[in-house]
Structure 1
Amino acid sequence: MTEQALLLVNLGSPASPEVTDVRRYLNQFLMDPYVIDLPWPLRRLLVTLILLTRPKASAHAYASIWWPEGSPLAVLSQRLQRAVQSHWEQGPVFLAMRYGEPSIAQKLQQIAQQGISQVVIAPLYPQFADSTTTTVLTEVQRVLVQHRLPLSISTLPAFYDQPAYLDALATQVQPYLEQGFDHLLMSYHGLPERHIHKADPSGQHCLTNTDCCQQAQGAVLAQCYRAQCYRTSQGLAQRLELMPERWSVSFQSRLGRAKWIAPYTEERLQALAAQGVKKLLVICPAFVSDCLETLEEIGVRAREQFLAAGGEDLQLIPCLNDHPQWAMALAQLCQQQAVPFNL
């Protein structure tokens, strides 16, 4: 049987929580045109202004959640890589980061040098967005062309509604529900509304009414991050047998003054506390590995906000990380759902 490598790709992390490393990482991340979708001169100007102050604040945040082994996202991604390897019999499993190290270019060249010609690329993002999935695949294409790598590529599509993923997510959440709770908040990474509008292939559906995401189907659903987030939430709530009033959806991590998709997590925290919710559980299903946005933004800052608003306890449910059921599910999805990638 022909050997087939599996390349897991996560977002990435600074090399350390030092300001210089954080600045380098943020520059690469924010200069990606799929992240800040402005013409290069405007993007360069905006990022330059952001880098005057943000690296210091971000470095402090990273330092507060940094592990002795390194970045939580990097460490947990490595653990997932090892866990998936035990279920991937077709060949070796590699790990790359879209930003930072190890890079996609490094890993694809390493695979080619080992004489492997077939590769499955698995962007570790359950829901599709240009700023996550598309930028990974664009970088894969750039590397293949620039280095003339003789690789046959397949890719794992967004798996937001795949039963194996949702089952693993439900298994992760269930023990926390059994401890008693008032409400489960599913907080997803946000996107500027303009990203959602641009992804609407019909040009006539996106954000036209309050129920547009619930009505999305076909090509619209395939491109709509917000609609896919709601599908994930509904699938999880059904598996957990949650009544509608016991769970809700929000979006976090806003940057800049542009309008981002709503409802905003910080506003939802205030509203839940005002409604009398005392014990709040929060899970972040847009991430498969815990990172700055989960451990610090939700586990620290959101918790402080909720308690200040009158809540009594906010507990962050860990991401899937290297949970055994998730590792097995991911290997199965990559084997069964991967589709050819054409340059």
Structure 2
Amino acid sequence: MSKGVLLVNLGSPDSTETGDVRRYLREFLSDPRVLDINPIQRSALVNLIIAPTRAPKSAEAYKEVWTEQGSPLIVTTYRVRDLLRERIDLPVEVGMRYGNPSAESGIRALMAQGVTELFLIPLYPHYAMSSYETAVAKVQDTMDAIAPKLRLVVQPPFYNDPQYIDAVLERAKDALAKNPDHVLFSFHGIPERQVKATDPSGCFCLRMENCCETRHPAHSFCYRHQCFTTAKMLAAKAGLERDQWSVSFQSRLGRDPWLKPYTDFVLEELPSKGVKSIAVFSPAFVADCLETIEELGMEGKEEFIKAGGKDYDLVPCLNDSTLWIDLLERFVTDYLDGKLAA
């Protein structure tokens, strides 16, 4: 059996032109695992309101982060692919959940190299229906349509993998060396209803007091629990006291309640509590992108400084760092050793 590796991340528009950004937003927000509302309402909301009104603003934001080579997320993911190819004796391809290069193009490229078993690595440390789950579902649906005999093995979320924790902290050594007043772990937000929807029991997540701290099978699918676990492990390994760090959630959309506290609110409040210097982590992202470079690095810094803060350090994502490539190589080794089930 010939094996190959597919790396899948979120994706980016093809360019910073408003039309390309609009098409990307339509594909992204039309995903029922992202905007999990009535299909008719979703179509009307996306096509008549969100995509037309947000595209121009989003296009300007993308222009702030775009590089000469293109989208930072795409460029970085290709570099990661190339570095991983140097480490392992298997074909490695890239596919994005939305936009280009598509998951289908990645699968077809592997098939052209004779691959009959695909090892999928969703580039998301945490489980959420709008990130990890939809990436796996997209690959499976594509395989069912174009390659029904292709076998699939999937890398589980790695939010609590000690090697992942070490890789994130290595990126933070310069920021932590400054002994900031506070460390903020900002994770991508999701609606509270999605946390409840991924709870297999239907009666635990966000329905029980201290649900994230009480051991339960739902934690295997609970984004909130997994984010808190990552933050606690990072803080412990960094030697932070409990009053030196906190968790927040960014990038909310719409009026429904999302996971709290909200990052922008926290950044505006911390200076009034005596926090003048801060290090901000974004552990839900493995590659710097619009949400880290522009939302956290530009808007977040402006909010913190305007509120009275002085020093603001955004910790880089894993990107193409050596420890991250080491971890990806270990994932492949575990797969080849039969430690992952199909």
TM-score scaled by structure 1?
0.95
- Could you tell me which residue of structure 1 aligns to residue 325 of structure 2? 327
Give, in angstroms, the shift of residue 334 of structure 1: 3.5
Does the alignment pair 1:245 with 2:243? yes
CA contact (8 A) 1:127 1:225 kept: yes
User: Using the alignment, how far apart are the partners of 2:215 and 2:286 within structure 1?
Assistant: 24
Matched letter for residue 213 of structure 2: Q
Does the alignment pair 1:340 with 2:338? no
The structure-2 alpha-carbon separation of the partners of 1:210 and 1:270, relative to structure 1 and needing over 3 Å to count, comes to: farther
User: Using the alignment, how far apart are the partners of 1:83 and 1:239 within structure 2?
Assistant: 27
- Could you tell me which residue of structure 1 aligns to residue 207 of structure 2? 208
Aligned residue for 1:214, secondary structure, equals coil
Deviations 1:104-127 (A, max 9, x none): 111112211221112100000000
Matches within 5 A, 1:114-263: 114-209=113-208, 211-217=210-216, 219-263=217-261
Give, in angstroms, the shift of residue 304 of structure 1: 0.6
Q: Which moved more, 1:144-153 or 1:231-240?
A: 144-153
* Matched length: 338
- Could you tell me which residue of structure 2 aligns to residue 55 of structure 1? 55
Does the alignment pair 1:305 with 2:306? no
Give, in angstroms, the shift of residue 209 of structure 1: 5.0
User: Using the alignment, how far apart are the partners of 1:118 and 1:202 within structure 2?
Assistant: 32
User: Using the alignment, how far apart are the partners of 2:331 and 2:40 within structure 1?
Assistant: 40
Gaps of 5+ in 2: none
- Could you tell me which residue of structure 2 aligns to residue 41 of structure 1? 40
CA contact (8 A) 1:214 1:230 kept: no
Identity among equivalent positions (%) equals 41
Alpha-carbon RMSD across the aligned residues, in angstroms, is 1.4
The structure-2 alpha-carbon separation of the partners of 1:150 and 1:209, relative to structure 1 and needing over 3 Å to count, comes to: closer
Matched letter for residue 172 of structure 1: R
Give, in angstroms, the shift of residue 227 of structure 1: 0.3
Q: Which moved more, 1:303-312 or 1:148-157?
A: 148-157
Give, in angstroms, the shift of residue 335 of structure 1: 3.0
CA contact (8 A) 2:91 2:113 kept: no
User: Using the alignment, how far apart are the partners of 2:238 and 2:102 within structure 1?
Assistant: 37
Gaps of 5+ in 1: none
Matched letter for residue 201 of structure 1: P
User: Using the alignment, how far apart are the partners of 1:28 and 1:57 within structure 2?
Assistant: 17
CA contact (8 A) 1:83 1:324 kept: no
- Could you tell me which residue of structure 2 aligns to residue 314 of structure 1? 312
